[in-house]
Amino acid sequence: MDKRILLVAAFLGVTAIILGAFGAHALKKLLSVEQLATFEVGVRYQMYHALFLLFVGTFAFLGEKERSIIFYLTIVGVLFFSGSIYLLATNTITNLKTKFLGPITPIGGLFLVSAWGYLFYAVLSKKQ
């Protein structure tokens, strides 16, 4: 599991950098300032959680089950939160019907909060 967590963390990190550069350069001429700012929020939260997974994957204090729960909560959270933001921010150039994504973003946020909350719980419940 640790290797998988680290691989996903690296993948999320590298794709956040690529998407950030893509947004700053290629999308700059195609999106409004507000859309670009929204896109950057998705990139920022993806990178935060890539670093979070990097930490979780190397944190020996957590057990395998605890890491697994945090891992899956984070993956679903990033996909729902950042993924929906990317699609919502670029809907004027993709012409996708993205209205249904509005509720997906906060659900993704809830998964991300749950991952952090579960980390808090897991550390708090450990005996010295």
Whether residue 46 contacts residue 12, with contact meaning beta carbons closer than 8 Å, is answered with yes
List, for residues 76-117, the tens digit of each pLDDT value.
Answer: 999 999 999 999 999 889 888 888 888 999 999 999 999 999
Please give the average per-residue pLDDT across 14-21, as a whole number.
97
pLDDT at res. 92: 87
In this prediction, residue 1 has a pLDDT band, given cuts at 50, 70 and 90, of low
User: What is the phi/psi pair of residue 27, to 5°?
Assistant: -85, -15
**What per-residue string of b and e applies to 18-50 under the rule 16 or more CB within 10 Å gives b?**
ebbeebeeebeeebeeebbebbbbbbebbbebb
Return the residue matching tokens 């999308």: 27
List, for residues 54-82, the tens digit of each pLDDT value.
Answer: 999 998 889 999 999 999 999 999 999 99
Q: What is the pTM of this model?
A: 0.92
